[in-house]
Amino acid sequence: MKNLKNKIEGIIFISDTPVKPKEIVEFLKEDLIKVKESIQELVAEWENKESSIKIEEVAGGYQFRTKEEFKEMLTEYINKKPYRLSRAGLEVLGIIAKKQPVTKIEIDKIRGVDSVGALNVLIERELIKVVGEKEVPGRPFLYSTTELFLEVFSLNTIKDLPEIVEFEDYEKVIKED
Protein backbone atom coordinates (compact mmCIF):
# COMPACT_ATOMS: atom_id res chain seq x y z
CA MET A 1 0.00 0.00 0.00
CA LYS A 2 2.91 2.39 0.76
CA ASN A 3 4.28 1.85 -2.74
CA LEU A 4 0.85 2.63 -4.22
CA LYS A 5 0.62 5.79 -2.11
CA ASN A 6 4.07 6.90 -3.31
CA LYS A 7 3.07 6.33 -6.95
CA ILE A 8 -0.15 8.31 -6.51
CA GLU A 9 1.70 11.12 -4.73
CA GLY A 10 4.20 11.31 -7.61
CA ILE A 11 1.43 11.43 -10.23
CA ILE A 12 -0.38 14.22 -8.37
CA PHE A 13 2.90 16.08 -7.89
CA ILE A 14 3.89 16.15 -11.57
CA SER A 15 0.44 16.93 -12.92
CA ASP A 16 -0.36 20.54 -13.76
CA THR A 17 -4.10 19.82 -13.56
CA PRO A 18 -6.15 18.00 -10.91
CA VAL A 19 -5.83 14.21 -11.24
CA LYS A 20 -9.04 12.20 -10.98
CA PRO A 21 -9.01 8.86 -9.11
CA LYS A 22 -10.34 7.15 -12.25
CA GLU A 23 -7.28 8.36 -14.22
CA ILE A 24 -4.98 6.91 -11.56
CA VAL A 25 -6.88 3.59 -11.59
CA GLU A 26 -6.61 3.36 -15.39
CA PHE A 27 -2.92 4.28 -15.45
CA LEU A 28 -1.74 2.13 -12.54
CA LYS A 29 -4.21 -0.72 -13.17
CA GLU A 30 -5.19 -0.64 -9.50
CA ASP A 31 -8.42 -1.14 -7.58
CA LEU A 32 -10.54 2.03 -7.22
CA ILE A 33 -11.14 1.46 -3.50
CA LYS A 34 -7.40 1.10 -2.80
CA VAL A 35 -6.65 4.21 -4.85
CA LYS A 36 -9.29 6.27 -3.03
CA GLU A 37 -8.05 5.04 0.37
CA SER A 38 -4.48 5.95 -0.56
CA ILE A 39 -5.55 9.39 -1.76
CA GLN A 40 -7.42 10.07 1.48
CA GLU A 41 -4.36 9.01 3.50
CA LEU A 42 -2.17 11.33 1.41
CA VAL A 43 -4.59 14.24 1.83
CA ALA A 44 -4.56 13.74 5.62
CA GLU A 45 -0.76 13.35 5.77
CA TRP A 46 -0.12 16.50 3.76
CA GLU A 47 -2.69 18.48 5.74
CA ASN A 48 -0.99 17.49 9.01
CA LYS A 49 2.56 18.15 7.81
CA GLU A 50 4.20 21.39 8.79
CA SER A 51 4.43 22.40 5.17
CA SER A 52 3.32 25.24 2.93
CA ILE A 53 1.52 22.86 0.58
CA LYS A 54 -1.26 20.29 0.76
CA ILE A 55 -3.17 17.95 -1.52
CA GLU A 56 -6.61 19.38 -2.20
CA GLU A 57 -9.66 18.04 -4.02
CA VAL A 58 -10.57 20.46 -6.82
CA ALA A 59 -12.48 20.05 -10.08
CA GLY A 60 -13.21 16.39 -9.30
CA GLY A 61 -9.53 15.54 -8.93
CA TYR A 62 -6.56 16.07 -6.63
CA GLN A 63 -3.76 18.61 -6.89
CA PHE A 64 -0.94 19.99 -4.78
CA ARG A 65 -1.98 23.46 -3.67
CA THR A 66 -0.57 26.16 -1.43
CA LYS A 67 -1.99 26.34 2.10
CA GLU A 68 -3.97 29.55 2.65
CA GLU A 69 -1.55 31.08 5.15
CA PHE A 70 1.31 30.94 2.60
CA LYS A 71 -0.47 32.02 -0.59
CA GLU A 72 0.16 35.75 -0.31
CA MET A 73 3.84 35.38 0.59
CA LEU A 74 4.51 32.86 -2.19
CA THR A 75 2.62 34.94 -4.73
CA GLU A 76 4.75 37.92 -3.78
CA TYR A 77 7.92 35.83 -4.06
CA ILE A 78 7.27 34.69 -7.59
CA ASN A 79 6.13 38.22 -8.43
CA LYS A 80 2.88 37.09 -9.96
CA LYS A 81 -0.37 38.84 -9.46
CA PRO A 82 -3.33 36.75 -8.30
CA TYR A 83 -5.78 35.76 -11.01
CA ARG A 84 -7.51 39.04 -11.90
CA LEU A 85 -10.68 39.71 -13.83
CA SER A 86 -12.49 42.96 -14.54
CA ARG A 87 -15.77 43.67 -12.81
CA ALA A 88 -17.59 42.89 -16.07
CA GLY A 89 -15.68 39.63 -16.38
CA LEU A 90 -16.59 38.62 -12.84
CA GLU A 91 -20.24 39.53 -13.41
CA VAL A 92 -20.46 37.48 -16.59
CA LEU A 93 -18.58 34.58 -15.02
CA GLY A 94 -20.90 34.62 -12.00
CA ILE A 95 -23.98 34.60 -14.20
CA ILE A 96 -22.67 31.74 -16.31
CA ALA A 97 -21.63 29.75 -13.24
CA LYS A 98 -25.09 30.05 -11.68
CA LYS A 99 -27.26 29.80 -14.82
CA GLN A 100 -25.29 27.46 -17.07
CA PRO A 101 -25.82 26.67 -19.80
CA VAL A 102 -26.80 30.21 -20.71
CA THR A 103 -26.84 32.35 -23.88
CA LYS A 104 -25.22 35.74 -24.44
CA ILE A 105 -28.69 37.28 -24.82
CA GLU A 106 -29.70 35.97 -21.37
CA ILE A 107 -26.46 37.29 -19.86
CA ASP A 108 -26.95 40.70 -21.49
CA LYS A 109 -30.53 40.86 -20.22
CA ILE A 110 -29.39 40.24 -16.63
CA ARG A 111 -26.52 42.74 -16.85
CA GLY A 112 -28.32 45.36 -18.95
CA VAL A 113 -25.25 45.83 -21.18
CA ASP A 114 -23.48 43.97 -23.98
CA SER A 115 -21.19 41.21 -22.71
CA VAL A 116 -19.26 40.27 -25.84
CA GLY A 117 -15.92 41.64 -24.57
CA ALA A 118 -16.14 39.86 -21.23
CA LEU A 119 -17.22 36.62 -22.93
CA ASN A 120 -14.23 36.75 -25.27
CA VAL A 121 -11.80 37.29 -22.38
CA LEU A 122 -13.34 34.43 -20.38
CA ILE A 123 -13.15 32.09 -23.38
CA GLU A 124 -9.54 33.15 -24.03
CA ARG A 125 -8.63 32.42 -20.40
CA GLU A 126 -10.47 29.08 -20.70
CA LEU A 127 -12.79 29.82 -17.78
CA ILE A 128 -15.88 29.31 -19.96
CA LYS A 129 -16.61 27.41 -23.15
CA VAL A 130 -19.33 27.00 -25.76
CA VAL A 131 -21.21 23.79 -24.98
CA GLY A 132 -23.81 23.86 -27.74
CA GLU A 133 -26.57 25.90 -29.30
CA LYS A 134 -29.99 26.70 -27.89
CA GLU A 135 -32.88 25.18 -29.82
CA VAL A 136 -34.49 28.54 -30.69
CA PRO A 137 -34.44 30.71 -33.83
CA GLY A 138 -30.95 32.00 -34.47
CA ARG A 139 -29.48 29.09 -32.48
CA PRO A 140 -27.41 31.20 -30.04
CA PHE A 141 -24.39 29.61 -28.36
CA LEU A 142 -24.75 28.17 -24.86
CA TYR A 143 -21.94 28.96 -22.42
CA SER A 144 -20.80 26.97 -19.38
CA THR A 145 -17.84 27.07 -17.02
CA THR A 146 -14.81 24.81 -17.48
CA GLU A 147 -12.82 22.59 -15.14
CA LEU A 148 -10.19 25.36 -15.07
CA PHE A 149 -12.88 27.62 -13.56
CA LEU A 150 -13.33 25.09 -10.74
CA GLU A 151 -9.57 24.90 -10.27
CA VAL A 152 -9.01 28.68 -10.23
CA PHE A 153 -11.79 29.22 -7.70
CA SER A 154 -10.86 26.14 -5.59
CA LEU A 155 -14.19 24.41 -6.12
CA ASN A 156 -14.69 20.67 -6.35
CA THR A 157 -17.98 20.89 -8.24
CA ILE A 158 -20.17 23.73 -9.48
CA LYS A 159 -22.57 22.85 -6.65
CA ASP A 160 -19.96 24.24 -4.21
CA LEU A 161 -20.74 27.81 -5.37
CA PRO A 162 -22.44 29.91 -2.69
CA GLU A 163 -26.08 30.85 -3.19
CA ILE A 164 -26.74 34.40 -4.35
CA VAL A 165 -30.18 35.79 -3.51
CA GLU A 166 -29.96 38.45 -6.23
CA PHE A 167 -30.28 35.79 -8.93
CA GLU A 168 -33.86 35.09 -7.88
CA ASP A 169 -34.81 38.61 -9.04
CA TYR A 170 -33.02 38.09 -12.38
CA GLU A 171 -34.82 34.81 -12.96
CA LYS A 172 -38.14 36.65 -12.70
CA VAL A 173 -36.99 39.20 -15.29
CA ILE A 174 -35.96 36.48 -17.77
CA LYS A 175 -39.17 34.47 -17.31
CA GLU A 176 -41.36 37.56 -17.84
CA ASP A 177 -39.93 38.14 -21.32
Which structural domain range is residue 25 located in?
2-77
Residue ending a domain, choose from 77, 96, 124: 77
Q: Is residue 138 part of a domain?
A: yes
Residue ending a domain, choose from 77, 112, 131: 77
In this prediction, the residues of the chain whose per-residue pLDDT falls under 70 are: 1, 79-83, 164-177
- Are 41 and 9 in contact by the 8 Å Cβ rule? The answer is no
The per-residue pLDDT for 69 is 92
The per-residue pLDDT for 5 is 95
The per-residue pLDDT for 73 is 86
The per-residue pLDDT for 163 is 75
Q: In terms of DSSP H, where are the helices of the chain?
A: 2-14, 21-28, 32-48, 68-77, 87-99, 104-111, 116-124, 147-152, 166-176
Same domain, 167 and 101: yes
The per-residue pLDDT for 176 is 53
Classify residue 29 as left (phi > 0), alpha (psi -120 to 50) or beta: left
